């Protein structure tokens, strides 16, 4: 079983639109949306939910006003400024609480509870391109990295039981915890970039991250005609660093048109954009070892 | 006054808006890049950097000569950053959140402060504005600790020199994004009128609403997609403070690293008007005073 994750560094370069198209083009696979924080793939795939699970992760301090005698030890120990004076007692600011339990452990009156945190939900759904494993972290919640690991585990098990040879994942922007979790155990990362100063800068950082975790990387330059000189600089960077550029896609309003209809680009009548995408997918299959 | 520019969906134009606002700001202002995973503000503002320092956080370091392997530290640690197995104590500094619990609870005082590198903080000047940015070390998973240090430096600077700040926040709606807008006086939510843009905009609005800060929307690439974002803003009584039209010339200027407010007189006016509305949004008394005057 092979695992591919589509990443970008910079947001808005076209990760999800391309993942949707690859989900259309790929054979027997499990699709997985690892951008648990702001997931969008379901807007293209219109999933029918078959399983829903609650995601609990970490805990949160909660001060019992009855038991609190206002000594303030908790506030002096908290490294996250999460404990505030509240009348003659104290209260926890849930937005700042990291769930470290230090206040709970040291409170002389055992006045601080430590309930589990309900951070989101995850789902297994049916789509026209195959099963989708996805989630929604509650807005403002934490532990996206752990939820990414849960989804990957579910997707792998599902691939096993359904005999699918591929898990195709849409990743998150950035280089932090959800992206690091999404790279773990992945055979190939495909970075989608654009020829802008931000696109190039963020590609460099996300490619350093892949190198750091020894994940193979291929690059797609989207909207290449917006700035051909910058696209050439990205190509040169990839050549020097040994990352194959597997496609250069034009800036095409088709992508937004497909999105508005809830379709993927390759379901619309063929254009240069979709022809190039087909070729890119064949190269990805080769690089990920999906073809004998 | 601190204005945070946030978005939900990435690539909708946060950095474009933050850079343009800093360019048209009247009065002293500092442009702050809190998208520490992928900081881009410097690419557009081209600051002259006058200082930089490496940022660290405190992680446990165990003196095994003093350790009795009682296990109190690993029992307390919620992040699996310290573990005692028989007569062996292991630390996993990359898992540590820096709560200091292990050091406080150790009965033998065997745990002292070690360091983990988080990244870099840099500062300088950019065409009349101050500049401050955090850059996360490649491989570092947690951005909030570095963001907190950048914000601490900003607060020192604002307390000493006064002035306003414009924060370029990271995308998404989880802990890094919330952290970036937490200490602001107003939040600008930048989006595009596409299905992805609208969906993530709603998530961002849900994430930031409990913070009780004045919010306004900026619609970038107006004209693409559909009108769902306008309906949502109307229903939620969220003011739309600016619209930047979809125009290939703007996209190309951005692709060359231009600050959009400098591209045309019309766009400059859009951002001047946005600036004035943001000021009113952040200090509600101001608009009323103006009306009474």
| CATH code of residue A86 | 3.30.70.20
CA B172, CA A193: separation in Å to the nearest integer? Answer: 18
Dihedral angle at the C-alpha atoms of B250, A230, B143, B115, nearest 10 degrees? -150
Whether the predicted pLDDT of B291 surpasses 80? no
Between chains, do A226 and B172 touch, taking CB under 8 Å as contact?
Answer: no
Query: Which band of pLDDT confidence, cut at 50, 70 and 90, is reported for residue A143?
Result: confident
Residue A12 is assigned to a structural domain of this protein:
yes
For residue A87, what pLDDT is reported? 86
Q: Which of B12, B97, B142 sits opposite A176 (nearest CB)?
A: B142
* Residues in B 105-164 with any Cβ partner in A closer than 8 A: 105, 136, 138-143
CA distance A72 to chain B (A): 16
Write out pLDDT tens, residues B251-289: 999 999 999 999 999 999 999 999 999 999 998 665 444
CA distance A38 to chain B (A): 6
Residue in B with minimal Cα distance to A195: B255
Q: How many residues does chain B have?
A: 293
A76 and A205 in a single domain? The answer is: no
CA geometry: angle B48, A8, B255, nearest 5 deg: 50
A109 and A192 in a single domain? The answer is: no
A205 and A240 in a single domain? The answer is: yes
Q: Which of A59, A98, A230 sits opposite B99 (nearest CB)?
A: A98
Write out pLDDT tens, residues B56-90: 999 999 999 999 999 999 999 999 999 999 899 99
A273 and A228 in a single domain? The answer is: yes
A245 and A151 in a single domain? The answer is: yes
CA distance A283 to chain B (A): 26
Write out pLDDT tens, residues A150-207: 999 999 999 999 999 999 999 999 999 999 999 999 999 999 999 999 999 999 999 9
Between chains, do A100 and B9 touch, taking CB under 8 Å as contact?
Answer: no
Residue A292 is assigned to a structural domain of this protein:
no
Q: Which of A95, A114, A133 is the last residue of a domain?
A: A114
- Tokens standing for residue A229: 């000189």
A139 and A40 in a single domain? The answer is: yes
A161 and A91 in a single domain? The answer is: no
A109 and A127 in a single domain? The answer is: no
- Residue A16 maps to which CATH number? 3.40.50.300
Does residue B287 belong to the interface with chain A, where contact is any CB pair within 8 Å? no
Name the residue among A139, A58, A56, A59 with its Cα closest to residue A92.
A59
Domain containing A86 equals 61-114
- Domains along chain B with CATH numbers: 2-46+127-292 (3.40.50.300), 57-117 (3.30.70.20)
For residue B293, what pLDDT is reported? 36
Write out pLDDT tens, residues B155-197: 999 999 999 999 999 999 999 999 999 999 999 999 999 999 9
- Tokens standing for residue A43: 């807007």
Does residue B104 belong to the interface with chain A, where contact is any CB pair within 8 Å? yes
| Beta carbons of A124 and B191 less than 8 angstroms apart | no
A95 and A160 in a single domain? The answer is: no
For residue B128, what pLDDT is reported? 87
CA A194, CA B270: separation in Å to the nearest integer? Answer: 26
Residue A74 is assigned to a structural domain of this protein:
yes
CA B176, CA A140: separation in Å to the nearest integer? Answer: 9
Chain B interface test: which of A12, A106, A191, A217 (most B C-beta within 10 Å): A12
Rg, C-alpha atoms of chain A: 22
A104 and A150 in a single domain? The answer is: no
Between chains, do A174 and B257 touch, taking CB under 8 Å as contact?
Answer: no
Query: Which band of pLDDT confidence, cut at 50, 70 and 90, is reported for residue A262?
Result: very high
A102 and A206 in a single domain? The answer is: no
Could you give phi then psi for residue B87, rounded to 5 degrees? -105, 45
Residue A190 is assigned to a structural domain of this protein:
yes
For residue B292, what pLDDT is reported? 43
Domain count, chain A: 2
Query: Which band of pLDDT confidence, cut at 50, 70 and 90, is reported for residue B55?
Result: very high
Query: Which band of pLDDT confidence, cut at 50, 70 and 90, is reported for residue B116?
Result: very high
CA geometry: angle B237, B241, B245, nearest 5 deg: 120
With both helix axes pointing from N to C terminus, report the angle between B284-292 and B265-282 in degrees, rounded to the nearest 10.
Answer: 100
Q: Which residues of B touch A101 (CB under 8 A)?
A: 76, 78, 99, 101
A269 and A146 in a single domain? The answer is: yes
Mean pLDDT across chain A: 96
Residue A72 is assigned to a structural domain of this protein:
yes
Query: Which band of pLDDT confidence, cut at 50, 70 and 90, is reported for residue B19?
Result: very high
Q: Which of A43, A59, A141 sits opposite B196 (nearest CB)?
A: A43
Residue A16 is assigned to a structural domain of this protein:
yes
CA distance B79 to chain A (A): 8
Between chains, do A174 and B99 touch, taking CB under 8 Å as contact?
Answer: no
């Amino acid at each position: 079983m092979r695992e591919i994750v589509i990443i970008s560094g910079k947001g808005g370069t076209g990760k999800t639109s391309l993942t949707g198209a690859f989900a259309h083009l790929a054979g027997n696979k499990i699709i997985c949306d690892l951008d648990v924080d702001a997931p969008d793939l379901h807007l293209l795939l219109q999933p029918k939910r078959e399983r829903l699970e609650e995601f609990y992760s970490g805990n949160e301090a909660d001060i019992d006003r009855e038991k609190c005698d206002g000594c303030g030890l908790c506030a002096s120990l908290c490294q996250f400024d999460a404990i505030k004076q509240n009348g003659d007692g104290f209260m926890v600011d849930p937005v700042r609480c990291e769930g470290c339990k230090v206040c709970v452990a040291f409170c002389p009156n055992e006045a601080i509870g430590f309930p589990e945190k309900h951070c989101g939900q995850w789902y297994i759904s049916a789509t026209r391109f195959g099963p989708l494993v996805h989630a929604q972290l509650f807005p403002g919640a934490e532990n996206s990295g752990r939820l990414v690991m849960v989804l990957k585990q579910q997707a792998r098990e599902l691939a096993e039981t359904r005999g699918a040879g591929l898990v195709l994942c849409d990743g998150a922007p950035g280089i932090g915890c959800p992206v690091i979790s999404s790279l773990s155990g992945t055979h190939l990362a495909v970075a989608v970039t654009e020829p802008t100063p931000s696109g190039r800068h963020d590609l460099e950082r996300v490619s350093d991250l892949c190198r750091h975790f020894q994940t193979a990387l291929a690059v797609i330059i989207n909207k290449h005609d917006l700035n051909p000189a910058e696209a050439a600089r990205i190509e040169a960077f990839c050549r020097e660093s040994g990352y194959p550029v597997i496609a250069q896609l034009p800036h095409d309003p088709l992508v937004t048109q497909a999105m508005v209809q809830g379709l993927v680009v390759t379901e619309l009548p063929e254009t240069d954009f979709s022809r190039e995408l087909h070729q890119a997918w064949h190269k990805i299959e080769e690089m990920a070892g999906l073809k004998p | 006054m601190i204005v945070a520019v946030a978005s939900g969906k990435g690539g909708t134009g946060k950095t474009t808006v933050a850079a343009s606002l800093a360019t048209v700001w009247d009065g002293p202002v500092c442009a702050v890049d809190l998208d520490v995973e992928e900081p881009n503000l410097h690419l557009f503002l081209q600051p002259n950097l006058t200082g930089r320092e490496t940022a660290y956080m405190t992680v446990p370091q165990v003196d095994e000569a003093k350790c009795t392997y009682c296990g109190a530290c690993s029992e307390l640690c919620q992040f699996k950053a310290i573990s005692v197995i028989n007569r062996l104590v292991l630390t996993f500094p990359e898992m540590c959140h820096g709560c200091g619990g292990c050091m406080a609870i150790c009965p033998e005082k065997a745990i002292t402060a070690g360091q983990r590198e988080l990244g870099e903080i840099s500062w300088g000047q950019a065409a009349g504005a101050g500049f401050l940015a955090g850059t996360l070390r490649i491989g570092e998973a947690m951005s909030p600790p570095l963001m907190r240090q950048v914000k601490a430096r900003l607060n020192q600077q604002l307390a000493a020199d006064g002035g306003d700040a414009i924060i370029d926040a990271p995308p998404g709606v989880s802990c890094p994004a919330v952290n970036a807008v937490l200490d602001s006086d107003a939040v600008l939510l930048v989006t595009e009128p596409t299905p992805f843009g609208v969906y993530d905009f709603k998530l961002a609005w849900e994430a930031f609403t409990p913070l009780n800060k004045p919010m306004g929307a900026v619609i970038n690439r107006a004209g693409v997609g559909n009108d769902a974002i306008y309906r949502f803003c109307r229903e939620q009584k969220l003011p739309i403070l600016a619209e930047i039209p979809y125009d290939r010339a703007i996209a190309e200027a951005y692709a060359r690293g231009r600050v959009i407010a400098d591209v045309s007189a019309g766009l400059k006016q859009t951002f001047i008007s946005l600036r004035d509305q943001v000021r009113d949004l952040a200090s509600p008394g101001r608009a009323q005073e103006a009306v009474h005057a």
